[in-house]
Structure 1
Amino acid sequence: MSKPVAIITGAASGMGLALTRHLVSKGWRVAMADIDSENGSRLSSELGADTIFQQTDVSNYAEQARLFSRAFTWGGNRLDFLAANAGIDDKQSLYEINEALDADGIPKEMNLKTIRVDLDAVIQGIWLFKHYARKNNTPGGKIVITSSAAGIYSMATNPLYTSAKHGLVGLVRACGPQFSEENITVNCICPSFVPTGLCPPHVLHKFPKEHITPMSTVLKAFDTFIGDNTMTGQTVELSLGHLYFRKQPEWANESQKWLGEESGEFWKEAYESLATTEGNL
């Protein structure tokens, strides 16, 4: 029997690297993706024949598509797992006072690279993964998305990061149950502060040690989702040594509950009618 195959983005450091080492130790083959080609290539060579490295800017669809195509072929036409883990913090402050202006005195477009990497690229990763998961000998697979505690709580210093990470929680809750019909599970982890390359060294040095969540908790969360074939659409918060499964808020009233839980057939018929109407134009 061939070994299971994973794609891990952001695999050259931090949580992505720890997960890569962990899965390889458990008999997986891992396609490592990262924008850092120097460290990614070196680490893949050190880890051996059960890894490959593909330099990938996940915000570039063509690069991410090449990653999936290569991983699937390298894995023997098999792809079992995606860890959509790559992420960056805010690259421009929403609160900036002296914005750069164009010739008409209007603020120039804000740098939204954070949204493209942390949210858009994850959606495209799901889009690509489902294509290959359907091609597996036994169709299906698992996706675990790295959100953040900032996907549950607000992080005023990084509002773009917060927006993207909140979006990932909603994305998982929306699509996870739907994909279960195809034997594809989609879940997300929301780590508290875990020492990674995302944190500047001077900040890490000053950060209170009693509030650091260890990498072992992150790996425990990944193992929980990888080892379960039915759990989907779930959000788990990671803090210190613990996993806390978070549910969406209670419905405000019966009308909201109907919209959220029982209106599926209405919307399905509405969109089908719309598609038919547009197709006849």
Structure 2
Amino acid sequence: MSNRYRLTPHLKQTSGMAPPTAIITGAASGIGLALTKFLLERGWAVCMADLNEPKEKLNNTLFVKTDVSSWDQQAALFEQAYTWQGRLDFHAANAGIDDRDDIFHSLSSASTKPPKQPNMLCFAVNLHGPYYGIKLAAHYMTLPSTAAGKPKPGGKIVVTSSAAGIYPSPFAPQYAATKHALVGLVRSLAPIAAAVNIKVNAICPALVRTGLAPPGLLEQFTEDQFTPMSTMMRCFSALADFDDVGKEDWVEKGKSGETVEGNLDELTWHQPPGRPDEASYINEEGQNAWAKIYFERNKNFAAMDWVNGKM
């Protein structure tokens, strides 16, 4: 796994104080690269994770080649980033890919030709990857890091979902499924993340010029149909308040469980649907019952030894 350290002296003082630090996946291009530059302009240090090394040389960055679908590689990424600066304030789970399988356009009329096992890499990258990142970020964000200049434990996480995580996308159902799942994950994690001073949110880009699209697709659209990168930076800023990171109440005052769509010049906030009054099983008393049972069960799962199938 290759590393690259580029930290200018004015950010890393001899006292051991470090600048606010971010880990961004998918950081070598597109939204991830734009966000990296956006944070660097504001005095942050950024650990850039990607399968491809950035084409530009950027100061105050550490590059770690990472396949986000691999738990081991992400674990190594977070360990190196934390060792580099001694703190973690922000994580953008941004890496993603599009569909790698089809169901209804590849049917065979022969009973002797059943479908092969589908390619599920889209789920591994877009859903497993962010889950791994959130779990790792929660660990490193909650480590005491006052010696590195971090006022108190905690931090902020922004997951890159998509407009396809809000609206149906028949042309890319795998992608839509994973991006819908991320919205549900963020909304579900936010209330319990608050207990450890972490905020979790999601951005949903519309059509943005990135390398995600298959060759020839972006040429089918006119310039006025593309959402500018500046809109996506406004989404991140609205969720993470980057300029206030040095304040002790930076995390507490932030948003959590929010989903914001960046479409052209507009930021649209999407709220979860309301439940019917008849859904008493999930009222406050009901939620407490669910929480008590599931938190205890899942805590026990985490304590088990699953290596080689042993419990």
TM above 0.5, yes or no, is yes
- Amino acid corresponding to residue 66 of structure 1 in structure 2: A
Is contact 1:118-1:165 (8 Å) kept?
A: yes
Q: Which residue of 1 aligns with 2:79?
A: 69
Deviations 1:142-165 (Å, cap 9, x if unpaired)? 000000000000100000000000
Deviations 1:75-110 (Å, cap 9, x if unpaired)? 1x20000000000000122334257x9xx8542210
Q: Which residue of 2 aligns with 1:151?
A: 165
Of 52, 61, 65, the match for 2:62:
52
Q: Which residue of 1 aligns with 2:269?
A: 245
Of 129, 134, 141, the match for 1:133:
141
Within-5 A mapping of 1:1-281: 1-37=17-53, 40=54, 42-43=55-56, 46-48=57-59, 50-75=60-85, 77-97=86-106, 105-137=113-145, 138-227=152-241, 229=251, 230-251=254-275, 253-256=276-279, 258-259=281-282, 261-271=284-294
- Amino acid corresponding to residue 106 of structure 2 in structure 1: I
SS at match of 1:47: coil
Tell me, in whole angstroms, the C-alpha distance in 2 between the residues paired with 1:272 and 1:47. Answer: 43
Relative to 1, partners in 2 of residues 1:233 and 1:272: Cα closer, same or farther, differing over 3 Å? Answer: closer
Deviations 1:116-174 (Å, cap 9, x if unpaired)? 10011111111111110111322100000000000000100000000000000000000
Q: Percent identity among equivalent residues? A: 43
SS at match of 1:245: strand
SS at match of 1:231: coil
SS at match of 1:202: coil
Tell me, in whole angstroms, the C-alpha distance in 2 between the residues paired with 1:80 and 1:149. Answer: 26
SS at match of 1:73: helix
Q: How many residues get paired?
A: 269
Is contact 1:79-1:136 (8 Å) kept?
A: no
Q: CA RMSD in A?
A: 2.4
Tell me, in whole angstroms, the C-alpha distance in 2 between the residues paired with 1:136 and 1:15. Answer: 30
Ranges in structure 1 where 5+ consecutive residues have no aligned partner: none
Deviates more, 1:114-123 or 1:265-274: 265-274
TM-score, normalisation: structure 1: 0.89
- Amino acid corresponding to residue 249 of structure 1 in structure 2: P
SS at match of 1:233: coil
Ranges in structure 2 where 5+ consecutive residues have no aligned partner: 1-16, 146-151, 242-249, 304-311
Please identify which structure carries the higher helix content.
1
